[in-house]
Amino acid sequence: MTAGGALPGPDGRPRCPWGLSTEDYLRYHDEEWGRPVHGDDELFERLCLEAFQSGLSWLTILRRREGFRRAFAGFAIAEVAAFTDADRERLLADEGIIRNRAKVDATLGNARVLAGWAPGELDRLIWSHAPDPVGRPAPVTLADVPAVTDESKALAKALKKEGLRFVGPTTAYALMQACGLVDDHLADCLARG
């Protein structure tokens, strides 16, 4: 095992070090992070959660994920787009989510924008920014994993051009990692594709 690379988990198998700090992270790392996600509502959920994570730890969001799902109608774009001012006030009082006014407003506004799109359009737009994996070396240590790439900058620009908010290049790259557009599991991690 390379110094600074994957570390043995509770079962002795190598994993990305970040995935070993809590049981929540272990499960997320092993079962979800980096696996391909498709579907407009599914990608809308991930985009929203990454935006809510901005400035916070992912563990905070992960542990409130079910609260977010309940509060935002399972992230069904059409339903969230129809939320009223009363729903907004309900969200801002909901202790099961992050009650950040700008992030709540961005989620509602983004849903309204996306509700006008053709089915599959969000999926197509996001996945059109997946980099070619050929020639992209597997990261050996966490220091090899970027926070922003040219592709995430282009994705953020495309989303912003369409009127979406809270979709900067760092958020876009976190989305790309979480949804399998890139495989940033370390080279010797058991979850590497």
Distances (CA, A) of 105 to 10, 80, 158, 162, 163: 41, 11, 20, 16, 13
Is 90 exceeded by the pLDDT of residue 18?
yes
Of the candidates 188, 182, 155, 179, the residue with the CA atom closest to the CA atom of residue 28: 179
Q: How confident is the model over 41-90, as pLDDT tens digits?
A: 999 999 999 999 999 999 999 999 999 999 999 999 999 999 999 999 99
- Which residue type, as a one-letter code, is found at position 6? A
Rg over alpha carbons for the chain, rounded to the nearest Å, is 17
Q: Are 186 and 139 in contact, with CB atoms under 8 Å apart?
A: yes
Per the annotation, where are the binding residues for Zn(2+)?
Answer: 16, 29, 185, 189
Alpha helix stretches (DSSP H) within 72-130: 77-81, 85-93, 101-115, 121-127
**H/E stretch holding 62:** helix 58-63
pTM of the model: 0.95
Q: How confident is the model over 124-169, as pLDDT tens digits?
A: 999 999 999 888 999 999 999 999 999 999 999 999 999 999 999 9
Which residues does the annotation mark as catalytic?
28, 50, 58
- Confidence at 3, pLDDT banded by 50, 70, 90: low
Q: Are 48 and 68 in contact, with CB atoms under 8 Å apart?
A: yes
Q: Exposed, middle or buried, 117 (CB in 10 Å: 0-12/13-18/19+)?
A: middle
Per the annotation, where are the binding residues?
Answer: 16, 29, 185, 189
Cα angle 160, 127, 14 (rounded to 5 degrees) comes to: 115
**CATH architecture designation of domain 14-117+138-192:** Orthogonal Bundle (1.10)
Q: What is the pLDDT of residue 2?
A: 44
Mean pLDDT, the chain, rounded, equals 96
